[in-house]
Every structure is written in C-alpha cells, then in structure tokens.
Amino acid sequence: MSLCRSVNMEQLRVLELYSGIGGMHYALKECRVPARVVAAVDVNTTANEVYRHNFPATPLWAKTIEGLTLDDFNRLDFDMILMSPPCQPFTRIGLQGDVSDPRTKSFLYILDILPRLAKRPRFLLLENVKGFETSSARDALVKTLKDCGYSYQEFLLSPTCLGIPNSRLRYFLIARALPESFSFQTTTEVLVAFPESKRGDSADRTPNSAPSHAPAPNSSKGRDEGRVLYKMETARDLEKKRCQDEDESVRRIQDFLEEEEEEEGGAGPGMGRYLLPPKTLLRYALLMDIVRPSCRRSVCFTKGYGHYVEGTGSVLQSCTDAQVETAYAALDSLTDEQKLLQLSQLRLRYFSPREIANLMGFPSHFSFPENTTTKQRYRVLGNSLNVHVVARLITLMVG
Ligand SMILES: C[S@@+](CC[C@H](N)C(=O)[O-])C[C@H]1O[C@@H](n2cnc3c(N)ncnc32)[C@H](O)[C@@H]1O
C-alpha cells in the first residue's frame, strides 16, 4: 500500500518542536509522506538561522515552547508532532536532573497541553538520548499518551542498523491515535531494531547486531584481552573495532568524505584546516578514536566536536600509508618534538561539518549560512539527529 493511501491522501499538518537545524523536517521530506511543516519552534539563534537558510518558506517561531498558548497550538490545527526535547536532563554528564531539571519544563508543558487540545494529533514522534527510557519524564509521556488514547512503541536505535558507519544510539517513541493501529505488532519492550510491518514493509537488521560486535571465531581469548596494547586500547577494544570494520553490511567512511585534491600528505588544501593542532595531538593522543577512510565505524559526534577531543567523535587518519601502531610506538619515552614528528605521519584531522552532516543523513543540498562558524556548525550538528533513522520511523508510524 502506498504511503499516500495509508495516510488518507490529505496533506498532514506537522508541528516541529525543538526544531534545531531541521533534522526532523529533512526526515519528513525523505519519507515522502504528503505533509507540510506548519510551524517550527526553537529558541536557539544559530540553529534558527540554519533552519531559515534551508527552509525559508516554513514559519519558524523563535520563541520558547512554554511561551505558546493553548490557542496558539489550536490555531495550528496540526496532525503530527515531531520533537526532540533537550537531552541534557537525561544524560550521565547532564547529572540526570530529569523532571526537576528546568530544561524539562517545556516538555512537561507540552504534556499538559496535549489533553487540552481541541483536536488530538494523529501522530507523535519523540527523539531523545539513551537514558530517557528510564526517566520520570518518559513515564509522564507514556501516561499522557495512554490517557489521551494513543498506542505507542519505544525504540533504541543507532544509524548502524541502516548500514551507516556512525554510532548514535538514541531513544525514540512513535505514537498513533486510536482507533488507528500501527502496521506492526506493538510491544511494551523497547525495540532495538525496526519491526517487520504487517503491511509488507521489510525489517532491518538489529543495530550493532552480531557481525559488528561479536568476537571473531578465532579471536585470542584470555588474560591478555584486557591489557593495554598501545594508545589506551586493549586487545578486546581492537578486536571489537576489527569486527566492526569487517561488517560488510555497513558502508565505509570514505563514502561520506568530501572530495580532497590529492596533495602532499593526503589532506588537500581545503581539508588542511581540519588537521589537529600540535597542542591537541600532544595532550589527547591517547584518548582519540581514530578511523581510516576504509573503516566501517565512527563514534557519535557531539556538540563539543572540534573543540574537545575526548568522547566527542572520531578523528580521521588522512594519511593511510602510515600505521597507527607505528606512530604510537614508545610514545612515552619521546620528547614532545619527537612525539609530534611521529604522530604527524598520520595526518589526523577532524571530520568536516559537511562530512558529519553526510553521516547524519542530511541531503547534499543542506547547507549553512556563510557566517556560521565551524564551531557553531559542529555544535548544532551535534545536537541534531540521524535523518535516515527518523525517516524510517515516520514511515513506520504513518504506514
Ligand atoms: C536536541 S536539540 C533538537 C535538534 C533538532 N531536532 C535538530 O535536528 O537540530 C534541542 C533544541 O531545543 C531547543 N530548545 C530547548 N529548550 C527550548 C524551549 N524551551 N523552547 C524552544 N526551544 C527549545 C534548543 O535550542 C535546541 O535547538
């Protein structure tokens, strides 16, 4: 059955809350559901500039969600809510303030508005971090949905389940107003893969499923597995990465990179500005997650990428003739100058904002206003979402 038929042909009116740079809007476009964003709401000036630059025809309300009245919501007469509330209250680093964190206030306000709307929206999709599933905010959401007569399904999904070499494990909830039902059997379990649709849609493989994380049959087990070999990595870490890189159902990083003009050392003129500065190399060499263009993995890019190194995203080894093992050999015994000489063989660089956008599923026509700085680009991308994952969920929600 075509999506147009299953959503009654009419154009759905969509409200995009916490719209950021429009990841949800791109997902909606990608899944080709007949729909129109009737309002996008966000308070962040930079994100709003990027949104306006890419969606000049969409009404963008640069105000707080708590600043909208029930009448404002009713006037929009929407059929679908797409939203990514702030995730800091639910992350470990954000101290898990949950419902008592002031940043959750706007979300609780939405839950308060929902039962009072003149017309109940048919669909609702929420994205948040892993950790949300055990929060009181999640319990409040589920209670509101049940009270308002929705069926719902929760997920924990990463783009790797769609063959994208980037980990970004996120919580999602899709809801549909009864008596309409989903095309798949819902469960109270949090699903870690896209379900098989009863209406003929095919399922995908589980995120991070067997081939990418299971140890290879001949891997050397035993005492030495946890011992640091080089960098800060143990045999177990390296084995896991090797397995991920051999998983042919996931694409290679090179498919997502910007074209580089071949130049001495591999990093072309444009990309040279993304090379890691010496100070960063010296200070954080042991903590960086390094990937080569041929790899089939990268860690989640967060808003501090390009600024902080630890845990904010992978860096790229742009000179592939050099070996990480060699560059890192006996680093402890070297002077700073010698260390730099050795490490610089790898030509380590940050992924460019465009490359991160590619990995996050943003279309090639997505762009930034010229005055958006590189730091701002990393920041708003780090706050955004994987477009392809959300597109699959919207398709599943309305199908
Ligand atoms: C996780 S990001 C959403 C990202 C978005 N989905 C995207 O694709 O870029 C959360 C966004 O919520 C916005 N925000 C936070 N609190 C808000 C509030 N009370 N009212 C409106 N926007 C808010 C932030 O400015 C931020 O852009």
Can you give the residue range of the structural domain that contains 265? 246-379
pLDDT of residue 198: 73
Residues 271 and 332 reside in one and the same domain: yes
Assess whether 63 and 184 both reside in one domain. Answer: yes
What CATH number has the domain bearing residue 75? 3.40.50.150
Same domain, yes or no, for 236 and 200? Answer: no
- Count of structural domains, the chain: 3
Distance CA 85, CA 280 (A): 33
Neighbouring C-beta atoms of residue 219, cutoff 10 Å:
16
The catalytic position among 4, 31, 87, 295 is: 87
- Indicate whether 230 and 272 sit together in one domain: no
Q: How many A from CA of 64 to the centre of ligand 1?
A: 9
Question: Which of 43, 129, 360 has most ligand 1 atoms within 8 Å of CB, for mutation?
Answer: 43
Average pLDDT across the chain, whole number: 88
Domain boundary among 215, 245, 275: 245
To 10 degrees, what angle do helices 387-398 and 23-30 make? 60
226, 245, 264 - which closes a domain: 245
- Give the rounded distance of the alpha carbon of 172 from its chain centre: 11
**Residue 344's domain is classified under what CATH number?**
3.90.120.10
84 lines ligand 1 (CB under 6 A): yes
Closest ligand 1 atom number to CA of residue 44: 25
Residue where a domain stops, chosen among 245, 263, 293: 245
pLDDT at 332: 82
Residue 20 Cα to ligand 1 midpoint, Å, equals 5
Query: What is the CA(126)–ligand 1 centre distance, in A?
Result: 12
Ligand 1 pocket check for 24: Cβ under 6 Å: yes
Q: What is the pLDDT of residues 24-73, one digit of tens each?
A: 999 999 999 999 999 999 999 999 999 999 999 999 999 999 999 999 99
Tell whether 132 and 174 lie within a shared domain.
yes
31 noted as active-site residue = no
Kindly state whether residues 157 and 19 are assigned to the same domain. Answer: yes
Claim to verify: residue 233 and residue 298 sit in the same structural domain = no
Is residue 111 located within the same domain as residue 224? no
Does 299 share its domain with 349?
yes
- Which residue ranges in the chain fall short of pLDDT 70? 1-9, 92-96, 199-232, 261-269
Q: What is the pLDDT of residues 76-93, one digit of tens each?
A: 999 999 999 998 888 866
Residue 367 phi, psi dihedral angles, 5° rounding? -150, 170
Domain match, 234 and 320 both = no
Residues 91 and 74 in one domain: yes
Q: Within this chain, do residues 334 and 311 fall inside the same structural domain, yes or no?
A: yes
